[in-house]
Chains A and B, each alone.
Chain A
Amino acid sequence: MRSLALMGLTALAIVGAAGLYITRPQTVDSATFAALTPDPVHGAQVFTASGCASCHMAEGSKTPLVLSGGQRLASPFGTFVVPNISSDPEEGIGGWTLEQFASAVTKGTSPEGQHYYPAFPYAAYQKMTDQDVADLWAYMQTLPADPTPSQPHEVGFPFNIRAALGGWKMLFTPKDWVMPADTPQLERGRYLVEAQAHCGECHTPRNALGGLQRDAWLSGAPDPSGRGKVPDITPATLGWSMGDIAYYLESGFTPDYDSAGGHMAHVVENMAQLPASDREAIAAYLLALPN
């Protein structure tokens, strides 16, 4: 009897260890990145399209390129405090290597080998090309250093067990595209929406465990803060033309001349800096969504 219990425990330990092994934090292939020539000028465009500053600048900051962190992102799982990702070697990420940066952005793995919480949208960023990630890193190293220490997240049990995030990642961060794209414009729109601008992170509803419901892609969701709603942007509900969407992303004005608010105001500031063809590509992608 006792040996049976012991066997059971051993089996459980093996399954647990295997589970932790399978779901362990992943890193990128160093040889792939070592072979790239980073372009910091193009990296600036990746940075803007990916909306890095919108979350990583201080709340209400007038200097969005100082990525000192500190914004508080409320969620049903706790409050995430955005970290310092300035070029400061101590408090920021100035001391990282390209490989560490790429593992963080595309695998959600810290240089210490821990899982990041998915408030950091690596579910989207993993779809970026290696070249774009390398360019982004080259650009971010040119941004100012800031000595503000990152603050701990305010996340309670059981969500504070980061090892469990490995399983979460396996379940909820498939790398394949959500939407088909059969023209260059749709492909570009898809890349911007799904890989860089991470629109789905707020506009797609989540299941009870916080995984994105890809079958309800961009169909709107409660605001994660618990107040208000993030709108459904599928074409039938939105009812906007291609020109309406592109103009909104440039000016912040809806067809009724209401204007973007909350976090979307930051998004519009970023989108306004992209070429007009990119805003049109996003519009084309949104108009091709199923209703």
Chain B
Amino acid sequence: MKQIAATAAAFGLVAALATPVLAQDMSANIKARQGQFRILALNLGVLGGMAKGELTYDAAGAQAAADSIVGVSMVHQPTLFVEGTDDMSVDGTRALPAIWENPDDFAAKWAALGEAAKGMQAAAGTSAEAIGAAMGPLGGACKSCHETYRTP
């Protein structure tokens, strides 16, 4: 009996020690993934602004923005979306548990972003109109993932 209590206490101690460390690790992962979406948004802002005529079209600037989006799309997502970082488990995220229930579909949707990003990469240097046309598939990739895997 005493031994069981001691074991339980030991487990409790391990859990108590482990939890903060784990939480810290996860917050880094969450920050990183939120950061990558900010990088996407900023670069989409450059491209969208040019497509809408709010910014003067500049081929080099557009290309750099599109290349950055492709770069982010190549980041390995499972490193960022680690188990236990859904919105039911931790605060400060809108990632739904469904991500971890359907890892293959989540990966496929991220891959679709990569495809749309390559389309933008090919279009960005040519004209503002071409950027406008490539925004559609990019927006579609964002939506199709957010629809299922992010809280409103």
Contact = CB atoms under 8 A, between A and B. Distances in A.
B142 A262 contact: no
Contacts of B142: 252-253, 259-260
Nearest to A262: B152
Contact of B150 (A230, A243, A257, A261): A261
Interface stretch (A143-151, A180-188, A264-272): A264-272
B52 A243 contact: yes
A261 B52 contact: no
Contact of A228 (B44, B135, B152): B152
Contact of B143 (A60, A228, A247, A268): A268
Contacts of B42: 257
Interface in A234-291: 243, 247, 251-253, 256-266, 268-269
B68 to A, nearest CB: 13
B146 A230 contact: no
B148 interface: yes
Contacts of A228: 94, 151-152
Interface in B123-150: 135-136, 139-140, 142-144, 146-148, 150
Give the secondary structure class of B's interface: helix
Interface string A196-235: 0000000000000000000000000001000111100000
B139 A262 contact: no
A261 B45 contact: no
B136 A261 contact: no
Contacts of A260: 142-143, 146
21 contacts: A60-B148, A227-B151, A228-B151, A228-B152, A252-B140, A252-B142, A252-B143, A253-B48, A253-B139, A253-B142, A256-B41, A256-B45, A257-B48, A258-B41, A260-B142, A261-B146, A261-B152, A262-B146, A262-B150, A263-B147, A265-B143
Interface of A: 60, 223, 227-230, 243, 247, 251-253, 256-266, 268-269
Interface of B: 37, 40-42, 44-45, 48, 52, 87, 94, 135-136, 139-140, 142-144, 146-148, 150-152
Across the A-B interface, give the 3 residue pairs with the lowest CB-CB distance, nearest first: A261-B146, A259-B142, A265-B147
